[in-house]
Amino acid sequence: MKVKHVVVALTAFTLSAGASLALAQAKPEVLVKQRQAAMTLQGKYFGPLAAMAQGKAPFNGAVVARNAGFLEALSQMPWDGFDAASKGVKSEALPAVYSDAAKFKLASENLHAAVGKLVAASKGSDEAATKAAIGGVGKTCGGCHDDFREKH
């Protein structure tokens, strides 16, 4: 049991430093539920920003700043849920998540970097720059979904 914990903890560490404790005892089905929860909430808080960037909703800088802060936290949450232990659980994750783990990790880092740029932009008052940063986040979402999620 202890050896398994250490292995799981090390795997988690390569995905997200410090996440080991959250992962150590989670069952595969729980890992999937938790990572899907993080995706759901990223959608909740990114959706309205995408609408603003596309001109489908009026720009609201306060909402962008708040949601960007939430996304800063949320964008760190899904990745330890893609631990190899969850490979056999039915989900929309493509096998490439596990067979091309380095590319998947890079995609998750790209999201986090893009969210960082959005957080920075949302603290300023340049609406065009903020909308561009929203677009940057959207590209990393879509890029990763193209490669690693079943087509809808």
Which residues would be at the binding site for its own copies (CB under 8 A)? 18, 20-22, 24, 26, 33-34, 36-38, 40-41, 44-45, 47-48, 57, 60, 62-63, 66-67, 69-70, 72-74, 76-77
Residue type, 93: A
Tracing tokens 């959706």 back to the chain, one arrives at 47
Nearer to its own copies, 17 or 102 (CB): 17
Q: Which is nearer to its own copies, 27 or 103 (CB)?
A: 27
φ and ψ of 19, to 5 deg = -80, -5
DSSP structure string for 46-77: HHHHHHHHTTSS---HHHHHHHHHHHHHHTTS
Q: Residue 40 or residue 103: which is nearer to its own copies going by CB?
A: 40
Cα 44 vs. chain centroid, distance in angstroms? 12
Q: Write down the least CB distance from residue 84 to its own copies, Å.
A: 18
Write down the least CB distance from residue 63 to its own copies, Å.
Answer: 5
**Smallest separation (angstroms) from its own copies to the CB of 99:** 26
Nearer to its own copies among residue 52 and residue 121 (C-beta): 52
Phi (first) and psi of residue 55, to 5 degrees: 75, 15
Report the SS3 class of residue 149: strand
Q: Measured from the CB of residue 40, what is the shortest distance to its own copies in angstroms?
A: 4
How far apart, in whole angstroms, are the C-alpha atoms of residue 124 and residue 93?
Answer: 36
